C-alpha cells in the first residue's frame, strides 16, 4: 500500500527519466521506480464539505482516455457524487500540460486523490502527438483519480501485480504498473471504501484475474469488514479473440463476496474517439464490483458531448449506492 500524500507531485528529474540505457528487466525497472518520488505518492487536493454523504449517492466510473476535455467531462458527469477515473493525464503535452483530475475536481467542487500509474517517457502515440503544442512533458504522469463531494479519508494507492509490459514497449515506453487509488467515504449510514482501478490490457484473462485477486486480498488485510466499491476499466475481453464472459476475475470477485455490475450484457462500453479513431471492435470493459453495498441499476452513458465530440473511447458507467447492506 502507498499511504503517503502530497499537495503537488514532484517534477521528475533527469535521472528519473534516464532509462534508455537500463536493461529491460523487471528487477531493474522496480529498482529504478523506487527512486522516483512521484511513483510512491498520492496527490490530494480540491475541496468538499466535511460532512457524511447522504444516501443514495450517484457514482460514475470512467476511463477518460488521457482526458482531452476535463471541463466538458466534468459537466458530462455532473450528477455524480463520486467519480472513479482512469487514464488521467497530469503534466502531459498532449493534454496541454494540465492536471486533468484537479481541473475536473475544481469544476464540480469535489475533493480528489490521484496516483501515478505510469511515468510516460515520450509524448504518446503518433495520433496523440497531433494534440501536442510542446515537444516535452512538464511531468509525464498518467494515472487514476478518485473524486468525491465529501472528504476522502485515509487515501491510499496500490500497485497491481504485473509484468511491467510497458517498460518494454518501443512506441510508448513507460515506467510503472497498473494501479488502484482509494479512500474511505463517510456516509450517513456508515463508511465504505471507494476504489478506482484500471487493469492491464496487454495480457490475457489470467493476468487480470491475478490483479483482482491481489487487490481484494490487500483490501481485506488493510480494511477488514468495510464495505467496498471497486470501479473502473477492467479491460475484460481486451485480448486477441477475447470475450468478457470468459474472464476469471468475475469468479474471483464473486467468491470473495462481491456482486458484479456492468449494465445490460449486450451493451458495450467503448466507441470511436479522437484518439482511438478506428477501433477493431466494440468491447464491454467497464464495471463495478461491490461488497456490503446495495447498488441500483447501471446506466451506460454515451461519452458524446453536447456537440457530438467524443470525450473518450469509453462510455461513462453510472450507478447509485442505495444503502449499506443490512442497514
The percentage of residues in the chain with a pLDDT greater than 90, rounded to a whole number, is 91
Note whether residue 190 is domain-resident.
Answer: yes
Q: Quick: pLDDT tens for 198-218.
A: 999 999 999 999 999 999 999
If one compares 260 and 278, the residue with the highest pLDDT of the two is 260
192 lies in some domain? yes
CATH classification at residue 260: 3.60.10.10
What is residue 50's predicted lDDT score, i.e. its pLDDT?
92
Is residue 2 in a domain? no
Residue 236: exposure state from Cβ atoms within 10 A (0-12, 13-18, ≥19): buried
Query: Regarding predicted confidence, which is higher, 23 or 173?
Result: 23
Inside any domain, residue 6: no
Confidence band for 171, pLDDT divided at 50, 70 and 90? confident
pLDDT at 169: 84
Tens-digit pLDDT profile for residues 55-104? 999 999 999 999 999 999 999 999 999 999 999 999 999 999 999 999 99
pTM score of the predicted model: 0.96
Residue 233: inside a domain, yes or no? yes
Please tell me the distance from the alpha carbon of residue 228 to that of residue 133, in angstroms, as a whole number: 41
Residue 172 lies inside a defined structural domain of this protein: yes
pLDDT value, residue 281: 85
Is residue 49 very low, low, confident or very high in pLDDT (cuts 50, 70, 90)?
A: very high
Residue where the block lists cell 455524480: 80
pLDDT at 175 over 80: yes
pLDDT at 240 over 90: no
For residue 297, pLDDT beyond 80: yes
Which pLDDT does position 21 carry in this prediction?
81
pLDDT exceeds 90 at position 19: no
Looking up cell 464540480, which residue turns up? Answer: 108
What is the number of structural domains in the chain?
1
pLDDT of residue 22: 87
Decide if 73 is inside a domain: yes
Q: What is the 3-state secondary structure (H, E, C) of the chain?
A: CECCEECCCCCCCHHHHCCCCCCCCHHHHHHHHCCCHHHHCEEEEECCCCCCECCCEEEEEEEEEECCCHHHHHHHCCCCCEEEEEEEEECCHHHCCCEHHHHHHHHHCCEEEEEEEEEECCCCCHHHHCCCCCCCCCCCEEEEEEEECCCCEEEEEEECCCCCHHHHCCCCCEEECCEEEEEEEEECCEEEEEEEEECCCCCCHHHHHHHHHHHHHHHHHHCCCCCEEEEEECCCCCCCCCCHHHCCHHHHHHHCCCEEECCCCCCCCECCCCCCCCCCCCCCCEEEEEECEEECCCEEECCECCCCCECCCECEEEEEEEEECCC
DSSP labels for 192-209? EEEEEEE--SSS-HHHHH
Task: Quote the mean pLDDT of the chain.
Answer: 95
Query: Which stretch of 95-109, 273-287, 301-315 has the lowest confidence by average pLDDT?
Result: 273-287
Residues of the chain with pLDDT > 70: what percent?
A: 100
Q: Mean pLDDT, to the nearest integer, of 180-208?
A: 97
List the grid coordinates of 299.
Answer: 446506466
What is the Cα–Cα distance from 162 to 2, expressed in whole angstroms? 17
- The pLDDT score that the predictor gives to residue 170 is 78
Report the pLDDT averaged over residues 23-36.
Answer: 94
Q: How confident is the model at residue 295 (pLDDT cuts 50, 70, 90)?
A: very high
- Provide the residue range defining the domain that includes 31: 18-324
Please tell me the predicted confidence (pLDDT) of residue 242.
87
Residue 25 has pLDDT above 80, yes or no: yes
Going by pLDDT thresholds of 50, 70 and 90, the confidence category of residue 173 is confident
Amino acid at each position: 500500500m502507498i499511504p503517503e500524500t502530497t499537495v503537488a507531485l514532484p517534477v521528475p528529474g533527469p535521472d528519473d527519466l534516464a532509462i534508455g540505457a537500463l536493461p529491460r528487466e523487471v528487477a531493474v525497472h522496480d529498482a529504478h521506480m523506487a527512486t522516483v518520488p512521484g511513483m510512491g505518492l498520492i496527490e490530494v487536493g480540491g475541496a468538499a464539505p466535511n460532512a457524511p454523504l447522504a444516501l443514495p449517492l450517484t457514482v460514475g466510473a470512467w476511463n477518460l482516455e488521457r482526458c482531452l476535455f476535463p471541463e466538458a467531462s466534468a459537466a458530462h458527469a455532473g450528477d455524480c457524487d463520486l467519480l472513479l477515473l482512469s487514464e488521467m493525464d497530469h503534466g502531459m503535452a498532449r493534454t496541454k500540460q494540465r492536471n486533468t483530475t484537479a481541473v475536473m475536481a475544481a469544476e464540480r467542487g469535489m475533493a480528489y486523490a490521484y496516483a501515478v500509474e505510469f511515468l510516460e517517457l515520450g509524448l504518446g502515440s503518433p495520433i496523440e502527438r497531433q494534440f501536442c503544442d510542446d515537444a516535452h512533458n512538464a511531468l509525464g504522469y498518467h494515472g487514476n483519480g478518485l473524486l468525491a463531494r465529501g472528504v476522502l479519508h485515509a487515501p491510499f494507492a496500490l500497485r497491481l501485480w504485473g509484468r511491467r509490459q510497458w517498460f518494454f514497449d518501443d512506441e510508448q515506453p513507460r515506467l510503472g504498473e497498473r494501479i488502484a487509488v482509494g479512500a474511505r467515504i463517510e456516509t450517513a449510514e456508515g463508511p465504505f471504501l471507494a476504489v478506482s482501478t484500471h487493469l492491464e490490457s496487454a495480457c490475457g484473462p489470467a493476468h487480470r484475474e491475478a490483479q483482482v485477486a491481489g487487490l481484494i486480498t490487500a483490501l481485506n488485510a488493510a480494511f477488514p469488514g468495510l464495505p467496498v466499491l471497486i470501479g473502473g476499466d477492467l479491460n475484460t475481453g481486451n485480448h486477441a479473440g477475447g470475450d468478457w464472459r470468459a474472464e476469471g476475475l468475475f469468479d474471483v470477485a464473486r467468491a470473495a463476496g462481491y456482486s458484479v455490475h456492468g449494465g445490460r450484457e449486450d451493451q458495450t462500453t467503448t466507441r470511436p474517439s479522437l484518439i482511438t479513431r478506428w477501433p477493431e471492435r466494440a468491447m464491454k470493459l467497464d464495471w463495478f464490483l461491490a461488497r456490503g453495498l446495495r447498488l441500483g441499476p447501471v446506466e451506460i452513458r454515451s461519452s458524446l458531448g453536447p456537440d457530438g465530440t467524443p470525450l473518450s473511447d469509453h462510455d461513462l458507467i453510472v450507478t447509485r449506492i442505495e444503502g449499506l447492506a443490512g442497514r
